[in-house]
Amino acid sequence: MVASVTTQIQSPRSPTDDIAEVLLDAQAIAGKVAELGARITADYAGKDPVLVSILKGALPFLADLMRQIPIPLSLDFLEVSSYGNSTESSGVVRILKDLAHSIKDRHVLVVEDILDTGFTLRYVLEHLDQQKPASVKLCTLLDKPARRIVPITVDYRGVEIPDRFVVGYGLDYNERYRNLPFIGVLKPEVYGRP
């Protein structure tokens, strides 16, 4: 006699199952990126800027933004860490990967996904300023002023958002959710799950 074994196959959990609310859908993001790109194009015409992206979260924003800037430009990258696996910035910033090329006498535009406490961006802006660029300005897709501790001047601001923990469009929690095509609020019960 052969016993029958029933195996239940569970479908994998979708990252969207962990989202409480969508703050910005893909269409709203695209509209804001196009608007920022037009302003940057006008302001940097004839200046051959270098866009410095903060890895990893800002990559989708950078990729879309640079396609909206039809003037000569170059790219470089910094990788910094201040969050680890937490939802709160530790306030201690480390550079994990520095620029590959000199920015001396160049017009630098820092492209960041989100401005929160300001600790990371203050550190980055000071680090870049020490390299004697012609100018350094900041473009951030999201601004969360309720969490600001360090004052930062934002030259190109996409959207001001409330004090909620957001993921998607490059933003992560524990290296997940970056691939979502929208920006959404992560359900609080997800924070403690491995």
Q: What is the pLDDT of residues 65-89, one digit of tens each?
A: 999 999 999 999 999 887 555 555 5
Query: Following DSSP, what letter does each residue of the chain receive, concatenated?
Result: -------PPPPPPPGGGGEEEEEE-HHHHHHHHHHHHHHHHHHHTTS--EEEEEETTTHHHHHHHHTT--S--EEEEEEEES-TTSSS--S--EEEE--SS--TT-EEEEEEEEESSSHHHHHHHHHHHTT--SEEEEEEEEE-GGG--S----SEEEEE--S--EEBTTB-BTTBSTT-SSEEEEPGGGTT--
- Encode pLDDT of 100-156 as tens digits: 999 999 999 999 999 999 998 999 999 999 999 999 999 999 999 999 999 999 999
**Residue among 167, 109, 112, 120 nearest 148 (CA):** 120
The answer to the question of residue 47 being in a domain is yes
- Encode pLDDT of 14-58 as tens digits: 878 899 999 999 999 999 999 999 999 999 999 999 999 998 999
Q: How confident is the model at residue 190 (pLDDT cuts 50, 70, 90)?
A: confident
Does residue 112 contact residue 138 with C-beta atoms inside 8 Å? yes
The answer to the question of residue 18 being in a domain is no
pLDDT of residue 191: 73
Q: What is the CATH number of the domain that holds 45?
A: 3.40.50.2020
The answer to the question of residue 168 being in a domain is no
The answer to the question of residue 19 being in a domain is no
> Which positions are annotated as active-site residues?
116
The answer to the question of residue 191 being in a domain is no
The answer to the question of residue 180 being in a domain is no
pTM of this structure: 0.86
In total, how many domains does the chain have?
1
Q: How confident is the model at residue 6 (pLDDT cuts 50, 70, 90)?
A: very low
pLDDT at residue 180 is higher than 80? yes
List the domain range (segments joined by +) for residue 45: 29-162
The answer to the question of residue 169 being in a domain is no
The answer to the question of residue 108 being in a domain is yes
